C-alpha cells in the first residue's frame, strides 16, 4: 500500500513535460520498483485536476474520486502526482480535493529555473500559442511576474506539514544532468540509463514569435497552427533562437528576487554561493540579441503582409 506521496508541482517550463512523458512510458517498470504514477483517467499528468477545479467543471468529482481511490488501493510504496498547474495551489486546497493525502507523509518536489529564463520561456510559450500578444515587458506587467517570486509562491507549502524538496533547474546541479534522473533519485529510485535529450514542448525564438504575432494581427494565419507547421518544416537550433532580454534587463529582473532567492539558498542550499548560476550575467550581450525585430521593422512586415492579404 502507498506509504508516502510525492507531489511534483513544476514549476512550468522546467522539464515537466519530459518527466511526465517518461513516467507514462515507463509506468510498468516504475511500478515494479515501487512507484505508482497517479493521474486522472487517460491523462499524462494531473493538469486536468487543476483545470477542472479552476473552471468548475462537472467532471471534477469523478477526477477526484479516481485519484483518491488510487491513493488508497495502489500496492506500491510510493505514489507520485505531477502537474505544473499545482504550483499555484495550496496544500489545504489539494487536501480538500484528495482527502487521502493528509493521511500519508507528503513530499513536494519543485524545480526552480532562474527567474529571467523562466519568465522568458513562459512569454515565448504563451506567445507561440497565440494566448498572448505583446512584448516581454507587456507580459511581465500583465501577469506581475507570473509566479517568478519562488519564495512567496512556496510560502504556503513551507508552512504546511509537507516536506518541501526544491531543486535548482541547472544541468550541473541535477543528478544525471536532467530532471528525469534527478526526480527519480530524489524519490529513492534508480536513475535511468543515460539517453539522448528529448526536447518536449520547446518554444521558438523571439524573432519567430514576433512574426507569429504579426501574422495573427494581419489575420494571415492562426499563430498556433502556423508555429506547428514552421516547427515541422524548419526546426530552430537552440543556439540561434536569440535572447528576449539584454544582459542589463536580465540583471535587473533577477535582482527583484534577490532577497527571496537568498532565503531559499540559505535554507535549502547553504553550500551554494548563489541560488542560481549567474556567471553569464557578467558577459556582454551575445550576438543573439540582434535576432529581435525593432518596431520599425515589424511595422514594415505588418504592412507587407496586410497588402499581400488584400491582393489575395
The pLDDT, as a whole number, for residue 239 is: 56
Residue 172 binned pLDDT confidence (cut-offs 50, 70, 90): very high
Phi-psi region of 177 (alpha: psi -120 to 50; beta: other; left: phi over 0): left
Q: What is residue 241's predicted lDDT score, i.e. its pLDDT?
A: 61
pLDDT digits (tens, 9 = 90+) for 56-82: 999 999 999 999 999 999 999 999 999
pLDDT digits (tens, 9 = 90+) for 32-50: 999 999 999 999 999 999 9
Task: Give 182-216 pLDDT, tens digit per residue.
Answer: 999 999 999 888 766 555 566 778 888 888 888 88
pLDDT tens column, 89-109 = 888 889 999 999 988 899 999
In CATH, 4-114+149-186 is 3.40.50: yes
Q: For residue 288, what pLDDT is reported?
A: 43
The average confidence (pLDDT) of the chain is 88
Which carries the bigger pLDDT value, residue 206 or residue 161? 206
Instruction: Give the pLDDT confidence score for residue 224 in this predicted structure.
Output: 82
Residue-range domain boundaries for the chain? 4-114+149-186, 206-311
289 pLDDT above the threshold of 60: no
Residue 272, pLDDT above cutoff 50: yes
Record the pTM: 0.87
> Could you tell me the pLDDT band of residue 237, with boundaries at 50, 70 and 90?
low
Residue with the bigger pLDDT between 16 and 205: it is: 16
pLDDT of res. 290: 46
What confidence score (pLDDT) does residue 256 get? 94
Lowest mean pLDDT among 101-115, 216-230, 288-302: 288-302
pLDDT tier, 260 (very low <50, low <70, confident <90, very high otherwise): very high
Give pLDDT, residue 283: 72
pLDDT score of 287: 43
Amino acid at each position: 500500500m502507498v506509504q508516502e506521496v510525492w507531489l511534483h508541482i513544476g514549476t512550468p517550463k522546467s522539464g515537466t513535460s519530459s518527466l511526465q512523458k517518461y513516467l507514462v512510458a515507463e509506468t510498468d517498470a516504475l511500478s515494479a520498483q515501487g512507484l505508482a504514477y497517479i493521474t486522472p483517467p487517460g491523462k499524462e499528468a494531473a493538469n486536468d485536476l487543476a483545470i477542472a477545479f479552476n473552471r468548475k467543471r462537472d467532471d471534477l468529482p469523478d477526477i477526484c474520486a479516481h485519484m483518491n481511490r488510487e491513493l488508497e488501493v495502489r500496492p506500491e510504496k510510493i505514489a507520485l502526482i505531477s502537474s505544473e498547474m499545482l504550483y499555484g495551489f495550496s496544500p489545504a486546497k489539494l487536501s480538500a480535493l484528495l482527502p487521502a493525502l493528509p493521511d500519508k507523509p507528503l513530499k513536494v518536489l519543485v524545480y526552480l529555473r532562474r527567474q529571467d529564463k523562466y519568465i522568458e520561456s513562459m512569454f515565448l510559450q504563451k506567445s507561440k500559442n497565440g494566448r498572448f500578444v505583446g512584448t516581454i515587458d507587456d507580459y511581465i506587467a500583465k501577469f506581475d511576474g507570473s509566479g517568478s517570486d519562488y519564495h512567496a509562491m512556496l510560502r504556503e507549502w513551507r508552512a504546511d506539514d509537507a516536506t518541501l524538496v526544491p531543486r535548482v533547474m541547472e544541468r550541473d546541479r541535477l543528478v544525471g544532468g536532467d530532471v528525469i534522473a534527478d526526480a527519480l533519485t530524489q524519490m529513492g529510485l534508480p536513475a535511468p540509463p543515460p539517453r539522448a535529450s528529448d526536447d518536449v514542448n520547446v518554444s521558438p525564438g523571439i524573432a519567430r514569435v514576433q512574426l507569429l504575432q504579426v501574422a495573427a494581427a494581419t489575420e494571415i494565419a492562426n499563430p498556433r497552427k502556423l508555429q506547428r507547421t514552421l516547427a515541422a518544416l524548419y526546426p530552430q537550433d537552440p543556439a540561434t533562437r536569440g535572447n528576449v532580454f539584454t544582459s542589463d534587463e536580465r540583471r535587473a529582473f533577477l535582482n527583484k528576487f534577490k532577497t527571496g532567492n537568498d532565503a531559499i539558498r540559505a535554507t535549502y542550499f547553504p553550500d551554494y554561493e548563489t541560488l542560481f548560476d549567474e556567471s553569464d550575467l557578467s558577459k556582454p550581450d551575445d550576438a543573439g540579441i540582434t535576432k529581435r525585430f525593432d518596431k520599425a521593422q515589424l511595422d514594415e512586415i505588418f504592412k507587407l503582409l496586410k497588402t499581400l492579404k488584400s491582393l489575395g
